Structure 1
Amino acid sequence: MATIDISIAQTIEEKAIKANQAAKSLRLVTELEKNEALYALAEHLEKNIDFILKENRKDIEAAQKKYDAAYIDRLSLNENRVIDFANSLKEVAKLDDPVGETISNWTLENGLKVEKIRVPLGVIGMIYEARPNVTVDATGLALKSGNAIILKGGSSAIHSNKAIVSVMHSALSNTRVPKDAVQFIESTDRNATKALFKMKQHIDVLIPRGGGALIQQVVENATVPVLETGVGNCHLYIDREADTEKALNILINAKTDRPAVCNALETLIVHEKWLEKNATELIEVLNKHQIQVHGDEKAVRFIPGASLADETDWKNEYLSLEIAIKVVGHLDEACDHIETYGTKHSEAIVTENQETAKAFLSMIDAAALYHNASTRFTDGGALGFGAEIGISTQKLHARGPMGLKELTTCKYVMTGNGHIRA
């Protein structure tokens, strides 16, 4: 890594120290007080919609000169989107506070009482790209779980994020939650992000959320522990015994509902026998929704206008109305393809054969698996967690949508009566 500018590193460290101090103060804030702060955040966001949208337009105008439509969609806010993420804060406030929960307890033969108790992680460093809603979602989850947060959004959303954080700071000024618990790094210099990587003394965990390049950069260079969120190269396998209507509805929902999100479908794997029977219907829905197809040789023969896929297509997270299609002869071939190219995010099968479904769900290693359902459900809100801070594709501590409990750790508390160890 390149040498980090000393002044930038000092600024980041100052913010990290403030967040660390605020995290200590948060230990004494009650669940009621945290909830009151979340409702205050939601109220202030709703009252300041015009201001937030005005600042967001500055980001959109700049982005339109450099980015594609999918990226612009992730960056764009409107009144409904602001109301949605304000409402998500209210939903988080309604959730049970995990902090202080007794996970387990027992008494030793000598009478010493042991409790395993859920506690906050401490200070979370959030590094993300073009989604201003993450600024709100991450803050709400962090505060409800008793954590301070340092936000480092992408330069393309700088005006939007500054506006949102200024509104949140104003809201927190009249609550028991210290506004220093929400730190925002305004610098768009990449060295500011690199400085966060080395703040192990003050930051307990980093959570990167964005494209594969960003996530890999954090994982490879940070000395702070990382909760890795994953790129979503999601697959749908339509088995030979799939119901046609279910299969096509799930395909269209997973691919077109919001193509630019990580739980959107990127690769369709279809059994050759199903395709032979249902090619006309499949072609109709692909054309209706203007989905551009990159297929293997068999798919190209069946689907007019499809281009021949290469290795890049099987690996690609398109985040747009493009899809890769592979035709297979049996379940094992489908599973092998997913294991080779999948990112362990979300994978689905459509079939009426319960044994085939059971085999698929057993063989595939991913954070979220679906039988006869869309991958779009891999979302904290959709699964009842409230807002999520990201989708973890790791296997340690947290996996899948990360809600409140995933932002906590534990400590053991022992209670004795003069006990000493013999």
Structure 2
Amino acid sequence: MKQALGIREVPKATTWVTLSLQHLFAMFGATILVPFLVGLDPAVALASSGLGTLAYLLITRGKIPAYLGSSFAFIAPIISAVSLGGPEGAMIGTFFAGIIYGVVAIAIRAAGLNWLLRLLPPIVVGPVIMVIGLGLAGTAISMAMNNPETEAYSGLHFTVALVTLGVTIAASIFLRGFLSLIPILIGIVSGYTSAYFVGLVDFTPVRDASFFEVPDFIIPFADYNPAQVFSWEILFVMVPIALVTIAEHIGDQMVLSKVAGRNFLKTPGLHRSILGDGVATMIASFLGGPPNTTYGENIGVLAITRVFSVFVIGGAAVLALIFGFIGKVSALISTIPTAVMGGVSILLFGIIASSGLRMLIDNKIDLGEKRNLIISSVILVIGVGGAFIQVTEELQIAGMALATIIGIILNLVLPGGNTKESIESMFEESNEDHTAA
């Protein structure tokens, strides 16, 4: 299929903004949902995603048209980190997660990629991704069913959540073209409208907000002393999840390479792409935003429009940064009822769990083999069941972090793993020299 715009082509001024807005809308719903769930400022998430994407484009030498937004994998770890050290503690964990990206990028540059894929094969990553979605299921249901003021069941709130969920599902299945890429945003708008008509929306914050308003940044050394909020427990909660998101990043790069007809793992190189992701995450930690990751929604936009221009992606990043400083937008986001976000989350968290299952299927993982069955079973029960190891009185390894670590250990020590074949199958398509038609 012929591309509309090449990676380094600059669109005409009359269409540039429209094409960039399209990418902004594609990532908007998911990017603001993450900070909404973990208690961070959505305006900061928008600003940090814009800055992070610009940094990513710079580090990858303007050769990879990828947009970075809030990572769902870190929702539960951020919530745990906030309970341990407040939002500032979560930023410490986010920073060190970004450091892991940098270390992995250096290791890939020096030793190649196979060692990482042996450490994180599909049989480990797939179940851990399922844990991410299933572990958040309780949060989604609580938001959908309960009145946030009384924390008791509310039929009214649950009805709004079901309307939101129904519209989101319908938009995903029945809409075509660009609208099919923004079902989350359509669902949120529809749910918000229904919530307004039943009296769950208060526009007072929007009326009181200034048009221009600096987001609620959390700046190290200005707002807090990192040394005073640092704890090993926070690191053990958040840092291991970086290994999972790195594996997801590799998958995104493979898909993007296929869509664009380029081998981005080779040029400019996966080490640059992972480094860009890590720097974007560290930028978020300096501002008070959630960790960033490459967005599949925006890859979908690229696949449909065939507009691969990094200038369009950069335009979307600049628009996101601008939106973060518009007080009316931030205030409007804050008025979205939790029931609306709960309704959307039911689908999103389920999709995350299902994507882990899809990874197992796509990579032809045979759960009839005892080795694979044991690894996946242990990861699922430990991760979803909430197991933890109390290392010291203050240090605890729990949830997804523990499940990831145990999954890696089991994969390394149990006999029978054919890593050579799995690595070759993962790169079968990405190593071809695709040529855009």
TM-score, scaled relative to structure 1: 0.22
Q: Which has the higher contact order (CA 8 A, sep 6+)?
A: 2
Identify, as 1 or 2, the structure richer in strand.
1
